[in-house]
Amino acid sequence: MSERDIRIGDAEREHALELLGTHLGEGRLSVDEYGERSARVTTSKTRGELYELFGDLPAPRPLFAQVDPRPMASPQAPARRGFQLDPRINTAVLTAVALASVALYFLSKVPLVFLLIPAAVLLLGRVGRR
């Protein structure tokens, strides 16, 4: 793939429109030419299409960052220290805590026992991150 075939994004299109505005302001383009080229900039998909629009104009012209032709390697997730609980174990523990909270509520009639559920969630989350 050549540099001219590399696709562009909105930032490159906006920069090209600013440069066309500079050329319009300096009298190198008429209002009609500016309108025509601006419309083409907004539909451009590759660097080559933008280069064509500035071919007969002096600097400033669009500049693009160099692209490494090699494919990028996928980033690896950082290694986790310690251990991580299986999600099935987390689910089983939370279910047991919820059932135990309901049973304790019916035995003691103290609604604070339901605070065991978020406490268990917090503890399991901490253990899972270590």
Whether pLDDT at 46 is above 80: yes
Closest-CA residue to 90 (of 63, 114, 120): 120
Cβ contact 38:20 at 8 Å: yes
Whole-model pTM: value is 0.51
Tokens, residue 119: 């406490």
Cα–Cα distance, 18 to 22 (Å, whole number): 6
With a cut of 60, say whether residue 130 has pLDDT above it.
no
If you compute the radius of gyration of the chain from its CA atoms, what whole number of angstroms results?
Answer: 31
Residue 4: how many other CB atoms lie within 10 Å: 12
Helix or strand or coil: residue 7?
strand
pLDDT above 70 for 68: no
CB 5 within 8 A of CB 40: no
Residue 125 in this model has a pLDDT that exceeds 80: no
C-beta neighbour count of 37 within 10 angstroms: 21
DSSP 8-state symbol, 62:
-
Average pLDDT over residues 78-106: 77
Confidence at 57, pLDDT banded by 50, 70, 90: very high
| Residue 113 DSSP one-character state | G
128 pLDDT higher than 60: no
Quick one: what percent of the chain has pLDDT higher than 70?
Answer: 82
